[in-house]
Each structure stands twice: as structure tokens, then as C-alpha cells.
Amino acid sequence: MQNRRKWFALIAVCLGFFMGLLDVTVVNVALPTIQTSFNSSFSQLQWIINAYTLIFAAVLFLISKLGDLVGRKNVFIWSLIIFSVFSLACSLAPNVWILIIFRALQGIGGAGMLSLSMSIIADTFEGPERGLALGIWGSVAGLSTALGPLIGGILLSFFSWESIFLVNLPIGIIALFMSFKYIPKSRTFNSGKVDIIGMILSFAFMFCLILGLIQKETHYNYSWFDWHVASLLVAGIVLIIIFALFENHISSPMLNLSLLKNKQVLGSALSNLTLGMAIYALFSYIIVLSQDYMGYSALQSGSQLMIISAFSLVLGPISGKIASKINPGLIISMVLFLAGIGMFILPPLLGNHNSWLVMVPTFITLGLANSLINPLSSNIAVSDVEPKSIGMTSGLLNVGKQFGTSLGLVVLGLAMTGTYNHALATAKLPTQLISTLQTAGPFSGGAIAKHVNNTEFQSIIHNSFFRGMDSVAITSGVIFIIDGLLCYLLLCRKPKQIA
């Protein structure tokens, strides 16, 4: 393949998975608008994001397997088509539940574009060029998730919320043309069966775990042992065990569990899980804080997060050179620790301030983590597995990131709602009003306060949400520190290079 065509193929692949990752976060900035348009509950807003990321994670291994069996180029192109079609469908949704369904179907296309993109790059490039290409790939990954709120803010400033989905159509058409023309025909591996049962089991355990946590989050009076919560969590754990046993005893598993015995792959997957839980899920709460409680517009709140994405532009492409001088595993663990510190300093800086500038130090640490973990973890993982396992390894990393986003959205939501509801419960308000506010949820509190011309009432709502953000920050910080320690133990050795 001519050298120039390689780089056009990289552009085609990056365009596709840019859209797929963009749609994880671009919706965040539109949540307040969608909530008003459809009169949605806090739980429904979460499912607009979770429907996409859960299906994304559930089918990712399956699509990686299909790419191995019938050719990664073919499956990538079909994924582009599916994603573009259901992006259009999302823009036409008449109510919130139809939007949630179309988001789930859109996630199938997003999963294919993301999981196969890394495999196609690994097939197309070799040696130092592969490191550079994966560095660019990682930069686009970090940039797309951080640019989502900004692009959403720009679109919402001039158009309705439907535009955040319609923007995918012209990008999809360009990516489709370039994919046909420049992506080389990929090799196929073995003729094993497609693991449909494994896919169903993986979706089932993720769904049960997320729904169980949401039940706890949205029902303030439920204990962890309430059957509504405990039954779903126990079912999720049982299904994980069944999934692991099943995958370990079939000839063509969706996930080869032996990959998790590889410390480089396991550490990389954990770092991607943390990106989803502690950064991408966090965007939803930062956006609501900025728009509904600090009073910024959608465009302004999206622009603020550009601090995070700016690091991806600078550090992503040169991450390979940095890793050649410093152990990449050490870099990953150190930026995770740094991001944890950044989250711990947020509560005292935030206080009850209405200026986003107090969050800048935290944004800087998150930008460093986002820009370096994406490319370095990918390079570490694919450099330490056989070529036939690259697709599955890519799927594992991306499942970690997408499931982490769904899981983080709810885990951080538990931290938020628990503290928010407690702060309301201790306020001097009528019991019935407190119950109404708790039922409406923290994402609705700002809008309710604006419609009540009472300074004391507005102050109570404001303080309750800000204390909830303190808990979100501390929870995110703990996740970063724990994973930083794990990655230090798993990744701090030079990965073996596969010829």
C-alpha cells in the first residue's frame, strides 16, 4: 500500500470513531434542553446516555469478532451506515423513550467504528509508524470526548437539540467515501462461531448492575438491601460468573479471558475504565453545574471544557516520543494520581462560587490524564499481544471505557443525590416540598429555583447541589487514586514488542 494511502485510511478511520466517541459527550450539553423539551426525569436523562454506552459496550466484542471473521473494512463500513441512519432517527424522535431506543441502536454503529478503528490502524501500520498512528488515534479519542460539549454548545446556540445528531450525517458521508477508497482489505482470522450467547450475557450483567444502581440512586428511601436494588445487583454478579464460565468453555469466545492474565492488557483496560468513570461521566455533572447553577450558556459551558481537550491536541501526537524516554506505564499511573489530586482540591476551591474559573486547576489535571492515557494504554496493550488478538484487545479497552461511562454516571450520581438529598433534608423547608425536590432530582433543582422568586429558597437549592458536587469530586478522586495504584503495579515494566 502506498504511504500516502495509509494516512488517508487513518483519516477515514479517525473520522468514523470521532463521531462514535463524540456522541458519548455531545449529548451532555443538550441534557437541560432535552429535559425541557420532553419534560424528562433525572432517570430518563441518564438513560439517554446509558442506552448508547451500554449497547456500545455490549456489542463491541461481537463486532470485533465479526471484523476478524468477515473483514474489518466491511464491518467498519456497515457500522458507519448504521450510526448515520440512527443519528438521523434520533433527530426525529417524538418523545424521550423513542430517543432512548434510537440512541441504543446508534450505539451499535458507534461500537463498530471504535472497536475496529484500532484494529485497522494496527493492520495498516508497522513499527514506528504504528506508534505515531496510534498516538494520533489516541489524540482524536481524547479530543472527540472533550470537544463534544463545545460542539454541542455551538449547535445549541444556533439550532435546536436535534442538530447534535444531524451533524453526524455530513461527517458520516465523507468517512464512508474515504473508507471505501482508502482502507485496505483486511485479513480474516479463523472461522469460529459468533458468540451471540456471550453478547447477551455481557449485556445482561451490565444492564442489571446499572439498573440496580439507578434504583438506589433514584429512590432515596431504598436501602442497599431493598429487593428492588439487591435483586438486580445480585443478578448482575451471578450473570458475570455465568458469563466468565461460559466464555472459558467454548471454542470461539467473545472474550478470551486469558487476555486478562496479561498485566499490560489488564492495566490498560483498567485505565480506560477509569477514563469513562471519572472523566467522561463527570462531564454531565460539570455541564449541569455550569448551565443550571452558575448561569452559563450551553456554548460557554462547552467552551470551558476546551481546557481539557487542548492537552490532547498537544500531547497526543507526541505521546509515543514521551513513552520512548519514560516508561509509559509509569506515565499512566502518575497522571492518574495527578487527576485524583485535582479532584480532591476541587471542593475547597468550588465552595459556593458561581465562577467556572475555580475549576481550572482540576480541568488541567483531567486534560493531562485524558490526553496521555488514551494513546499510551492502546499502544501498551496492542504491543503485548499476538496480531490475531488485536481486535479483541481493542474491544476490551473500549468496553472498559464505555461501560465505565455508564457505571460512572450512576456511581457519581449516587454520590450527588445522596449528598444533595441529605442537604435538602436538613434545610428549613416544609417536608412535602423537600420530598418534591428530592423526587425531581438534582438536575431539575436549578430550573425549579429559577421559577421561585425567593432568595433563601434559591440559596438552599444552590448549596445542596454544590455539596453534591463536592461528593462527586471526592468519589472521582478516589477512583483515580485506586486505579493509579493498580496501574503502577501492573504496567510499570517495559512491554514486550511483537515482531
Residues 295 and 418 in one domain: yes
**495 pLDDT higher than 60:** no
Contact 355, 304 (CB under 8 A): no
pLDDT band of 113, cuts 50, 70, 90: confident
Residues 231 and 324 in one domain: no
Q: How many domains, in total, are found in the chain?
A: 2
Question: What is the predicted pLDDT for the residue at 297?
Answer: 83
Question: Quick one: which of 293, 406, 436 has its CA closest to 46?
Answer: 406
Contact 293, 462 (CB under 8 A): yes
Contact 90, 138 (CB under 8 A): no
Whether 437 maps to a domain, the answer reads no
Residues 258 and 244 in one domain: no
Residues 269 and 245 in one domain: no
More confident: 314 or 284: 284
Pick from 1-5, 247-251, 420-424, 484-488: least confident = 1-5
Question: What is the predicted pLDDT for the residue at 401?
Answer: 82
Q: How far is CA 493 from CA 263, 274, 329, 383, 385, in A?
A: 10, 20, 7, 13, 15
Whether 499 maps to a domain, the answer reads no
Pick from 83-87, 343-347, 491-495: least confident = 491-495
More confident: 434 or 175: 175
Question: What is the predicted pLDDT for the residue at 88?
Answer: 94
Rounded to the nearest integer, the mean pLDDT of the chain is 82
Q: Cα 449–451–456 angle (5° rounding)?
A: 45
Question: What is the predicted pLDDT for the residue at 498?
Answer: 41
Whether 496 maps to a domain, the answer reads no
Residues 22 and 110 in one domain: yes
Residues 202 and 305 in one domain: no
Residues 7 and 154 in one domain: yes
Question: What is the predicted pLDDT for the residue at 324?
Answer: 63
Q: How far is CA 73 from CA 64, 66, 222, 469, in A?
A: 11, 11, 48, 43
| 3 state SS for the chain | CCHHHHHHHHHHHHHHHHHHHHHHHCCHHHHHHHHHHHCCCHHHHHHHHHHHHHHHHHHHHHHHHHHHHHCHHHHHHHHHHHHHHHHHHHHCCCCHHHHHHHHHHHHHHHHHHHHHHHHHHHHHCCHHHHHHHHHHHHHHHHHHHHHHHHHHHHHHHHCCCCHHHHCHHHHHHHHHHHHHHHCCCCCCCCCCCCCHHHHHHHHHHHHHHHHHHHHHHHCCCCCCCCHHHHHHHHHHHHHHHHHHHHHCCCCCCCCCHHHHHCHHHHHHHHHHHHHHHHHHCHHHHHHHHHHHHCCCCHHHHHHHCHHHHHHHHHHCCCHHHHHHHCCHHHHHHHHHHHHHHHHHCHHHHHCCCCCHHHHHHHHHHHHHHHHHHHHHHHHHHHCCCCHHHHHHHHHHHHHHHHHHHHHHHHHHHHHHHHHHHHHHHCCCCCHHHHHHHHHHCHHHHHHHHHCCCCHHHHHHHHHHHHHHHHHHHHHHHHHHHHHHHHHHHHHCCCCCCCC
The mean per-residue pLDDT over the stretch 356-378 comes to 88
Which of 251, 268, 292 is the last residue in one of the domains?
251
Whether 497 maps to a domain, the answer reads no
Residues 306 and 288 in one domain: yes
**308 pLDDT higher than 90:** no
pLDDT tens-digit series, residues 379-419: 787 776 776 677 677 778 877 887 888 788 888 988 998 89
The whole domain housing 199 covers 195-251
Whether 439 maps to a domain, the answer reads no
pLDDT tens-digit series, residues 149-208: 778 888 888 888 899 899 889 988 998 998 888 887 766 665 566 778 887 888 888 888
Which of 214, 235, 251 is the last residue in one of the domains?
251
Question: What is the predicted pLDDT for the residue at 19?
Answer: 84
Residues 203 and 266 in one domain: no
Whether 284 maps to a domain, the answer reads yes
Q: Is the four-CA dihedral 429, 431, 436, 439 of positive or negative sign?
A: positive
Q: How far is CA 148 from CA 81, 152, 188, 290, 342, in A?
A: 21, 6, 34, 15, 22
More confident: 61 or 465: 465
Which of 236, 251, 266 is the last residue in one of the domains?
251
Spatial neighbors of 299 by CB under 8 A, at least 6 apart, are: 150, 153, 154, 156, 157
pLDDT tens-digit series, residues 11-53: 888 888 788 777 777 787 788 788 888 887 777 777 888 788 7
Say which CATH number the domain at 277 has: 1.20.1250.20
pLDDT tens-digit series, residues 220-270: 677 888 888 899 999 999 999 998 899 888 877 777 788 888 888 888 889
Question: What is the predicted pLDDT for the residue at 238?
Answer: 95
Whether 232 maps to a domain, the answer reads yes
Question: What is the predicted pLDDT for the residue at 341?
Answer: 96
Spatial neighbors of 180 by CB under 8 A, at least 6 apart, are: 77
**340 pLDDT higher than 80:** yes
Residues 73 and 211 in one domain: no
Question: Quick one: which of 102, 114, 28 has its CA closest to 412?
Answer: 28
The mean per-residue pLDDT over the stretch 479-485 comes to 95
User: Which cell numbers in the block locate residue 129?
Assistant: 509508524
Question: What is the predicted pLDDT for the residue at 317?
Answer: 62
Residues 247 and 258 in one domain: no
pLDDT tens-digit series, residues 45-99: 778 887 887 787 778 777 777 877 777 888 889 999 999 999 999 999 999 899 9
Whether 102 maps to a domain, the answer reads yes
**4 pLDDT higher than 60:** yes
Residues 341 and 310 in one domain: yes
More confident: 187 or 129: 129
Per-position b or e across 85-121, b if 16+ CB within 10 A of its CB: bbbbbbbebeebeebbebbbbbbbbbbbbbbbbbbbb
